[in-house]
Amino acid sequence: MSRPKAIDAARLIGREFGNVVLVRELGRGAMGAVYVGYQKSLRRQVAVKLLPKADAATESSRQQFRDEAETVAILSHPNIVPIFEIGEDAEFHYHVMQLVQGADLGRLIANRRKHPVPGKRLLPPALVVEILSSVLDALGYAHGEGVVHQDIKPANIVIEEATRRPLIVDFGIARTARAEFWAEGMMVGTVRYAAPEQAAGRETDARCDIYSTGLVLFEALAGGLPLRDADDNRKLLARKVRQPETLLERPPSATSPHIDQRMERIILRAIAPDPRDRFRNCAEFRQILGDWIPPQTAVGDSTR
């Protein structure tokens, strides 16, 4: 699906979708543009995702947009952003969902890297474990409901400012038992975080989310990912398909003082090229992650 270039943000401010008035644009992606809206009936701010019908050229793209709403609607978990309404008018399909006030994990990692004190340029490991444990709990719940996210990455984990609660967003390419538009050989997801079987367009299951979460864990602890061909998506994709065991330029423990040998084993098991070598499920991953004791860190770097 093409990016929604047809949307004129200024023209849409003040427009109503159901009983929601658009206030300002938040961002755009492959599955639509997202706005802050004001829900008149409950007097609250919400997020509104729009997909222009001009961009939904095929039945599969329209079905994908509807499936995202229907998928999230069946999920009820404190770490998954809920959806309130789905609808359409003459120009757009739209979703209305909870507006999360906060920053995504990718921004938190990037902001830490800019800290003036070298010893504070990485997120505290205890915080990383807390965030990823919540993510794994939510993913395990979703998997139990037959939903595989397929696009876990730092940008899709938002930390709510008021509660510090991590929330998984963007189920736009989630795989469900009822999704009929997926075809063998179809690559979905973000190349950087996609599992090898996902990159190859093979059938995926819950273990692709475990792989992606393992890479997010690595990145959050190290402040970055030492991936070969990281700046070239085509080469990175080919490496994941043909030589996934050569993905890392150096082992995790060589990238961060927060990653000891035990954490390295946790990360490498999560991102094992063969799905059969990964954690059996999110509950096992979460338990082993929770049992890890972070190595001694610099004074002042063990708090939020």
- Rounded to whole angstroms, how far apart are CA atoms 125 and 131? 10
Q: Is 291 a catalytic residue?
A: no
From 151, 170, 209, 260, active-site residue: 151
Kindly state the helix (H) or strand (E) to which residue 131 belongs, with its residue range. helix 125-144
- Rounded to whole angstroms, how far apart are CA atoms 280 and 173? 23
Question: What are the start-end ranges of the E strands in 89-204?
Answer: 92-98, 102-104, 147-148, 157-160, 166-168, 175-176
Q: How far is CA 115 from CA 109, 110, 120, 244, 286, in A?
A: 10, 9, 6, 33, 29
Cβ–Cβ < 8 Å for 193, 185: no
Cβ–Cβ < 8 Å for 135, 166: yes
**Residue 41 DSSP class:** T
Catalytic positions are 151
